[in-house]
Amino acid sequence: MRRSCTRCAALDTWSVTALVRLFRTTAFKLSLLYLAIFAVGTGLVLARLGSGVQELLDRQIKLTIQAEIDDLAEQFGSGGLGGAWRLESAITSRTLQPTSALYLLTNYAGVPLIGNVAALPEGTLDRDGIVETTYRQVGSRAPHLALARTVTLEGGFHLLVGRDIELRERLLAAVGQALITALICIAVVGLLGGLYVASRVLHRINGMTATAKTIMAGNLAGRLPIAGTGDELDRLAENLNAMLERIAELMAGLKQVSDNIAHDLKTPLTRLHNDAEQALRGAREPAQYRAALERIIEESDGLIRIFNALLMIARAEAGSGREGMTDFDAGAVTRDVAELYEPLAEEAGASLSVSIEPALPVHGNRELVSQALVNLVDNALKYGVTAEGRAPALAMADAVAPGASPEPPDGPLPAEQGDWRARGEITLSARRVGRSIEIAVADRGPGIRESDRARARERFVRLEDSRSQPGSGLGLSLASAVAHLHGGELRMEDNDPGLRVVIAIPARDTVALPGKQPPGAP
Amino acid sequence: MWSMRILIIEDDAEAAGYLVKAFRESGHVADHAFDGIEGYSLARDGNYDVLIIDRMLPKLDGLSLIGGLRSQKIETPVLILSALGQVDDRVKGLRAGGDDYLGKPYAFSELLARVEVLARRKGSGTAEDTIYRVGGLEMDRLSHKVTREGREIPLQPREFRLLEYLLKHAGQVVTRTMLLENVWDYHFDPQTNVIDVHISRLRSKIDKGFDAALLHTVRGAGYMVRDGAR
């Protein structure tokens, strides 16, 4: 018994809070607002109807009264006994008919002579025009309302003709009743409708809230329910779902990145640690310590470079490179990079050629585009020069990346001439394709399998074939981020044989970059 | 080696202490201020050759400090140190009146080389000279002609600019990043020895076939053009 009561109370509390929540919904409040508007509207319509009816009846009654007065006055004529008699008989005959008409004839002192009116408020007979007055009919107790007009005839007689307006009053009362009924109906239907709509909305919102809570609790795969009605709540849910999708993607990317960072930074850190430990254990001479310390500095420099590259990618992806954007010629940037790398390529046993169309205006961050291009050329030198095409010098040049920078021997490095030159062929090109400017770095190396291409641009991803080469796996990631920052893309294509990496960005004269000022802005 | 007077305005006591010690070991005089206000009054009153100013400082930030000094017509060269190593930050720093910009973390050798270049710039007017001479090497900046001991050395335009920069700072260490910034106008690190190869090409042109080398590699720091005979 007590148990069921507790449950009762609990249920009560629950339903009260649920009800309160229902009342608080926007849908319910809107329903109340509509309810009020409809009520006022209905009231106005009925009031207008009432007043219209009253006006119409009044006019009709007034016309009738006037007609009768004219008629009776005519009967009376110029007065005299004949006129009085005619008037009396006319009134008598009319009062005998079952109508709502009022007749009263008095003498000059106001003493009733004939008619069907038993009582009138004092002074009524002296008032001019048609007046609304109470009266009591002969043979009746209850006072009634009437419209009446009094005229004074020859000889001081007062003739009052009127019409009972009880019907009009009843009509007005009926209209008033209808108004009240209508208001009650509107209130009831409106409240119920409001509650229904509110509860429907609340139900869907509750569904969304519940999902949101599970997502907050860690179920990142959760998605908001969609009713399939295509209404605004559905659209909202769809957009929120798209947002959740994007967040989940980013989270996955972030997780992948942090996993990779942890893994890829562990390797150089371990090397650094080992170098220090080994120096402590084994070194005897100051020179040995010095060498160990230099190695350690090189390792830590390498780590810093990796961090810088990561930061740069993150900034490019966040779009923060946009402030430094200017107008420049993509061809000039390409030529500069080619010129910077030409001696290195030659030493690496590769030929570096350029093919640049004139007038390739782009709007962007020159530094970032140069850096992206430098990364691509770097990759081409590292992976695009096949083993048989590799000059001895390249191995030496590569050994320093990314961390170390040992001094090259004074004097030029030996450059061997031979068949391998054809294999180590790197081409930098810049050209216009439709509305895009395409800057490409092509090599004759082993290339990247199509299935690996998407993965190759992820951070820290180093494909199996490239593991033997030093590198951080960040070069293509940065190039890709830079291309995206400029509203373009990074493509990897077959160079038959070899790899062609293309940075395609919109040409300056055709497309405004997303979120950038219109052309001509500084 | 001459001695510079350097003021370091840096709120990180450990970093500042390291710098002061390192500069003193390199034979220079280094003072230290912890915040922007103290740094400002020291920089205004002291006769320093170079100011090293951190961008983030308590009381008065680095860029405002520089602006204040410049408005007082104090033109002591300023090197800005910043953890914000981005190109845009660098541009802002230089626009505020800084003369050079170095992102953290940096190698001390890099900082030293840059500070020495800045301090030297204050005194000598080498930037205005039309002819640079080191040893038997002569560069005519107007006619773009380079000769060594009367023999003309043909140079590519970029090689000319590279040599020009080295000669302008003859006797001073020039780092790879300084060359990248000033000769190629790149403010990122290509992570390879690409500069070394350019240097070795240039070296083969100006030093090959002559007794004394002019273009020297400074281990762990960079390069220097110096008259080897003296």
Contact check, Cβ <8 Å, A344/B192: yes
Q: β-strands A351-356, A425-433: how paired?
A: parallel
CATH number of the domain within which B181 lies: 1.10.10.10
Mark which of B60, B91, B123 sits at the end of a domain.
B123
In this structure, the answer to whether residues B198 and B134 fall within a common structural domain is yes
Q: Which residues contact A262 (CB under 8 A, 6 or more apart)?
A: none
Determine the residue of chain A that is closest to B103 in CA distance.
A308
Residue of A296, A297, A304, A306 for testing the chain B interface, max B β-carbons within 10 Å: A304
State whether residue A268 sits within 8 Å of chain B by CB. Answer: no
Q: Which of A249, A189, A481 is nearest to A241 (CA)?
A: A249
SS3 A149: strand
- Average pLDDT of chain B to the nearest whole number: 84
User: B170-202 burial, b for 16+ CB within 10 Å, e for fewer?
Assistant: bebbbbbbbbbbbbbebbbbbbbbbbbbbbbbb
Q: β-strands B78-82, B100-103: how paired?
A: parallel
Contacts of A321 in chain B (CB under 8 A): 87-88
Q: Choose between A259 and B157: higher pLDDT.
A: B157
Q: What's the gap between Cα A227 and its chain centre? A: 18
Mark which of B72, B98, B123 sits at the end of a domain.
B123
Crossing angle (nearest 10°) for helices A2-24 and A26-76: 70
Contact check, Cβ <8 Å, A324/B187: no
CA–CA separation, A479 and A337 (whole Å): 14
User: In A283-430, where does DSSP find H-type helix?
Assistant: 286-318, 330-347, 366-383, 392-398, 420-423
Q: Which residue among A308, A370, A407 sits closest to B186, beta carbon to beta carbon?
A: A370
Average pLDDT over residues B68-74: 85
State whether residue A404 sits within 8 Å of chain B by CB. Answer: no
CA–CA separation, B197 and A411 (whole Å): 10
- Vertex B162 angle, CA B189 and A410, to 5°: 80
Q: Which residue among A301, A312, A367 sits closest to B186, beta carbon to beta carbon?
A: A367
Domain membership of residue B102 as a residue range? 5-123
- DSSP conformational letter for A344: H
Q: Which residue among A336, A400, A412 sits closest to B193, beta carbon to beta carbon?
A: A400
What is the nearest CA distance from A194 to chain B, expressed in angstroms? 57
Average pLDDT over residues B47-70: 86
Contacts of B213 in chain A (CB under 8 A): 410
CB burial of residue A520 (10 Å; 0-12, 13-18, 19+): exposed
What is the nearest CA distance from B37 to chain A, expressed in angstroms? 30
Contact check, Cβ <8 Å, B197/A408: yes
Q: Which residue among B107, B184, B220 sits closest to A340, beta carbon to beta carbon?
A: B184
Q: β-strands A130-137, A326-329: how paired?
A: unpaired
Q: Which residues contact A247 (CB under 8 A, 6 or more apart)?
A: none
Phi, psi values for residue A491, rounded to 5°: -120, 150
- Positive or negative CA dihedral for B156, B158, B159, B164? positive
Given the candidates 3.30.230.10, 3.40.50.2300, 3.40.50.300, 3.30.565.10, the CATH classification of the domain at A324-402+421-506 is 3.30.565.10
Determine the residue of chain A that is closest to B88 in CA distance.
A324
Domain layout of chain A by residue ranges: 52-170, 223-318, 324-402+421-506
Residue B82 host element (H or E): strand B78-82
Contacts of A323 in chain B (CB under 8 A): 88
Contact check, Cβ <8 Å, A336/B176: no
CATH architecture under which domain A52-170 falls: 2-Layer Sandwich (3.30)
Q: Tokens 């240097």, residue?
A: B199
User: In A117-231, where does DSSP find H-type helix?
Assistant: 166-216
Contact check, Cβ <8 Å, B88/A297: no
Task: Tell me whether residue B230 is in a domain.
Answer: no
In this structure, the answer to whether residues B108 and B65 fall within a common structural domain is yes
CB burial of residue A386 (10 Å; 0-12, 13-18, 19+): middle
Q: Choose between B8 and A5: higher pLDDT.
A: B8
Residue pLDDT, tens place only, B175-195: 888 899 889 888 887 766 888
Domains in chain B, number: 2
Q: Choose between B72 and A417: higher pLDDT.
A: B72
Q: Which residues contact A405 (CB under 8 A, 6 or more apart)?
A: A298, A301, B176, B193, B196
pTM of the model: 0.61
Q: Which residue among A321, A365, A378 sits closest to B190, beta carbon to beta carbon?
A: A378
In this structure, the answer to whether residues B82 and B182 fall within a common structural domain is no
Strand partners, A162: A102, A148
CATH topology for A223-318 is Helix Hairpins (1.10.287)
In this structure, the answer to whether residues B101 and B172 fall within a common structural domain is no
Q: Strand B222-225's sheet: what is its strand order?
A: B174-175, B222-225, B215-218
Q: Strand A130-137's sheet: what is its strand order?
A: A112-115, A101-106, A158-164, A144-152, A130-137, A117-119
Which range has highest mean pLDDT (A316-330, A392-406, B39-53, B124-138)?
Answer: B39-53
Contact check, Cβ <8 Å, A410/B203: yes
Contact check, Cβ <8 Å, A413/B200: yes
CB burial of residue A301 (10 Å; 0-12, 13-18, 19+): middle
Determine the residue of chain A that is closest to B162 in CA distance.
A340
CA–CA separation, A120 and A135 (whole Å): 5
3-state helix, strand, coil in chain A (%, to 5): 60, 15, 25
Contact check, Cβ <8 Å, A340/B87: no
Contacts of B219 in chain A (CB under 8 A): 407
Q: Kindly state the tokens that stand for A438.
A: 């395409």
What is the nearest CA distance from B123 to chain A, expressed in angstroms? 32
Would you state the pLDDT for residue A281?
86
Determine the residue of chain B that is closest to A315 in CA distance.
B86
Strand partners, A489: A504
Tell me, what amino acid is at A492?
M
Contact check, Cβ <8 Å, B196/A339: no
CATH number of the domain within which B43 lies: 3.40.50.2300
In this structure, the answer to whether residues B13 and B114 fall within a common structural domain is yes
Are residues B100 and B116 in contact, defined by beta-carbon separation less than 8 angstroms? no
State whether residue A336 sits within 8 Å of chain B by CB. Answer: yes
Q: Tokens 């590699």, residue?
A: B217
Determine the residue of chain B that is closest to A399 in CA distance.
B192
Q: What's the gap between Cα A181 and its chain centre? A: 43
State whether residue A291 sits within 8 Å of chain B by CB. Answer: no
User: In B97-193, where does DSSP find H-type helix?
Assistant: 108-123, 157-168, 176-179
For each of chain A's 522 residues, which pLDDT tens digit applies?
A: 455 555 555 556 667 777 787 777 787 888 888 888 888 988 898 888 888 888 888 898 889 888 888 888 888 876 677 787 888 888 888 888 777 788 888 888 878 888 888 888 877 777 888 888 888 877 777 888 888 888 888 778 888 888 888 888 888 888 888 888 888 988 888 888 888 888 888 888 888 888 888 888 888 788 888 888 888 888 888 998 898 888 888 888 778 777 777 777 787 788 888 888 888 888 788 888 888 888 888 888 888 878 877 877 877 777 766 777 888 898 999 999 998 888 888 888 888 889 888 888 888 888 888 988 998 888 888 877 765 544 444 333 333 334 334 444 444 444 444 444 446 888 899 999 888 899 999 888 777 777 777 777 666 666 655 555 556 677 888 888 888 888 888 888 887 788 888 999 988 875 444 444 444 443
Contact check, Cβ <8 Å, B190/A297: no
Task: Tell me whether residue B131 is in a domain.
Answer: yes
- Vertex A75 angle, CA A72 and A77, to 5°: 115
Residue of B82, B102, B196 for testing the chain A interface, max A β-carbons within 10 Å: B196
How much is the ipTM here?
A: 0.82
In this structure, the answer to whether residues B114 and B148 fall within a common structural domain is no
Determine the residue of chain A that is closest to B85 in CA distance.
A308
